[in-house]
């Protein structure tokens, strides 16, 4: 197991441990749109690499009704958790997701 695979496996274990925790690890990052006003732009398309459990995705889609996001993460548990949260919020029609199981080079 190389270092990258070990990191990916570590994150997968992390998300599996926290997905049903009594005190959720998930914290919606509401200040994100204030820190990055471009996220409020009409019709913006966002690619989030390493999206984790969707804590960045949810506030963008909630507060920008014309935004769309493609979220990727190497953790299948995190990607499924993101989808579930967006379905519950009624925002999943503007989200696509993908499990990215391997490291990539820029």
The pLDDT tens digits for 3-59 are 677 776 777 776 777 667 655 555 666 788 889 999 999 999 999 998 888 889 999
| Distance from C-alpha of 82 to C-alpha of 72, rounded to nearest angstrom | 10
Say what the pTM is: 0.74
| Distance from C-alpha of 11 to C-alpha of 29, rounded to nearest angstrom | 19
For residue 90, CA distances in Å to 31, 51, 79 come to 21, 19, 17
- Provide the pLDDT confidence category of residue 105 given band limits of 50, 70 and 90: very low
């Amino acid at each position: 197991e190389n270092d990258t695979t070990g990191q990916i496996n570590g994150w997968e274990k992390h998300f599996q441990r926290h997905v049903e925790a009594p005190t959720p690890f998930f914290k919606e990052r509401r200040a994100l749109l204030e820190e990055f006003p471009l996220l409020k732009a009409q019709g913006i398309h966002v690619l989030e690499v390493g999206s984790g459990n969707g804590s960045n995705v949810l506030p963008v889609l909630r507060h920008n009704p014309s935004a769309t996001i493609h979220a990727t993460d190497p953790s299948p548990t995190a990607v499924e958790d993101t989808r579930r949260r967006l379905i519950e919020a009624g925002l999943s029609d503007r989200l696509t997701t993908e499990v990215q199981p391997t490291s990539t080079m820029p």
